Chain A
Amino acid sequence: MTATASGEERPYAARVSQVPHRLAVVLNDVTTTLVERHDADAVLRLVTTACTDLLGATATGVMLVDPRGGIRVVSASDEHARFVELLQAHTEQGPCVESIHTGGVVNSPDLAAETERWPEFVPAAMRAGFRSIHAIPMRLDGRTVGGVNLLHTSTWTLSRSDEMLARVLADLATLGLAQERDLRRADRLAEQTLQSLNDRVELAQAVGMVAGSLNVDPDRARAVLVERARQDRTTLRGVARAVTTGALTPAELAPQDQDPRSSRGEDMGRSTS
């Protein structure tokens, strides 16, 4: 008995056969490249080709947000100079930029009706021979990192399933880029920088605690912490943290030839008078 939880009438095998063969080939090519070759440019080429083959686009262009500001065209199905120039020249205004700024899909089935919305982009696109554009954002970790733009030479409406497919292809392009160009680099660096700032505070406090406990100057105290890290085969950060959290009392760090109890810092107040 083939239970049909989804209310679907047809048996499983029949539904699977509905998946177009060409789609399966494309998805297989892209995911194989993603998992085996780590080649972002190859993924981008496959995605742009698929947009043309599966979604009927006359031309497809992938644009990426440069973290320093600005938007660059990184891949185009049609290397025809006019097309790339069209996209590159309109990084200030137009559907591609709008999609990147809003993070949503921008559909323009008939550019002729949008001259007021994009007074510079529309005439330029129509001069280049295009009549319709669909801009799909590339999203990663809640940020828009770029966009896939599908252009048609005639008016064109994307069906719901075509739009879903376009999103899948845009996501695949994003994943390809995230692997290779490391779109998370800025976040990771920021985390490391923050960590480093906090580590420095903790180390300074630990140095002060050791200096106060052993009645030595800060340079000597730092050396004591470094030596302890070496002995314990751990990081300076680890030792500093142990001291500031109280897991390691500064007195325990006294050099072996000294009696730790004799250097609790009792004379610190007096040493200045």
Chain B
Amino acid sequence: MLDGQRRDRLRKAVAECLRAPRATGWAEAMCVAAVAALGSVDAAALTLRTDSHGEEMIGASEPWAARLEETQYTLGEGPGVEAFGTGGPVLVADIRVEQARWPGFADAASASGAAAMFAFPLQIGGIRLGTLDLYRRLVGGLSSAELGDASVLAELATLALLEDAERTGPDDLHAVISYQDVNVATGMLAVYLRVSLEDAFSRLRAHAYATDTPILELARDVLARRIPLDRLVD
């Protein structure tokens, strides 16, 4: 069966990449391996997601992909967000034509040079943990062979994630960029404005969007009291 051979080949390529010592961790190595395995993809990022606004980017093949992940988090939309929500891959051969689907992200991604994007959920059984997001600078879809490979890579990333969780304990997953400060700021804002956590988060997000500030930066401004909280009232 062809599928078995491809899987085996990818498994070996990924194992090779993960074995090489890398200070930045397995997730970045995994992303680099994914880009190397998929000819037409320029960058990859692995992000853990939850339904409760918890989000942690655990690895990216380059800073460009990391920034696009944060854009998705700030806006609360994009292929990765959608793939996590639906549990299926989200394949976008041309981001420019997706303005109706993701009004903010389509523009932001195009502006930063992303033309196509493919997101695959990291899931085992019915449990979803995040997404593997692949970015391309040129318009165009994945070939069917690449599509198969990308699904296998997402599976391998899930298993690597679980192995890492087993090695270090699930509480010690290493995030490259943790958005937890956003959640701290959310809590603070909820108390100050006497609104629900959900409301407080929406206001942070809206303010980040309106002022074109990454949400993490805004959250840190809130925590450092660099921004008067009453400015976030509606």
Contact = CB atoms under 8 A, between A and B. Distances in A.
A123 B7 CA distance: 25
A67 B155 CA distance: 10
Nearest to A94: B1
Contacts of B190: 205, 208-209, 212
Nearest to B56: A197
Contacts of B165: 189, 192-193, 196
A208 B129 contact: no
B187 A209 contact: yes
Interface stretch (A44-52, A165-173, A265-273): A265-273
B184 A91 contact: no
Interface residues of A, number: 48
A207 B184 contact: yes
B197 A244 contact: yes
Contacts of A59: none
B170 A206 contact: no
B229 interface: yes
A137 to B, nearest CB: 16
A212 B54 contact: no
Interface string A207-224: 111111100011000000
Interface string B179-218: 0111111111111100001000000000000000000000
Contacts of A117: none
B48 interface: yes
Nearest to B165: A193
Interface stretch (B21-29, B94-102, B134-142, B219-227): B219-227
Contact of B54 (A190, A197, A218, A270): A197
State the main secondary structure of chain A at its contact with B: helix
Contacts of A92: 1, 4-5
Contacts of A199: 171
Contacts of A244: 187, 197
A20 interface: no
Contact of A193 (B125, B161, B187, B191): B161
A265 B159 contact: no
Contacts of B181: 204
B156 interface: yes
Given A198-B52, A205-B197, A186 B124 contact: yes
A176 interface: no
Contacts of B152: 69
A193 B54 contact: no
Contacts of B8: 69-70
B180 A204 contact: yes
Contact of A194 (B50, B156, B183): B50
A127 interface: no
A193 B188 contact: no
Contact of A268 (B48, B54, B162, B229): B229
A201 B73 CA distance: 14
21 contacts: A68-B11, A70-B7, A92-B1, A97-B1, A141-B125, A189-B170, A193-B162, A194-B50, A194-B129, A195-B170, A198-B50, A200-B183, A202-B52, A204-B182, A204-B184, A208-B190, A212-B190, A212-B191, A217-B223, A268-B225, A271-B225
Pick the 9 closest A-B CB pairs, nearest first: A208-B187, A204-B183, A212-B191, A201-B54, A212-B188, A208-B184, A209-B187, A196-B170, A208-B188
Interface of B: 1, 4-5, 7-8, 11, 48, 50, 52-54, 56, 124-125, 127-129, 152, 155-156, 158-159, 161-162, 165-166, 170-171, 173, 180-192, 197, 223, 225-230
Given A208-B190, A212-B192, 15 more contacts: A69-B4, A69-B156, A92-B4, A101-B1, A189-B165, A194-B50, A200-B54, A200-B183, A201-B53, A204-B182, A208-B191, A213-B191, A269-B228, A270-B228, A272-B226
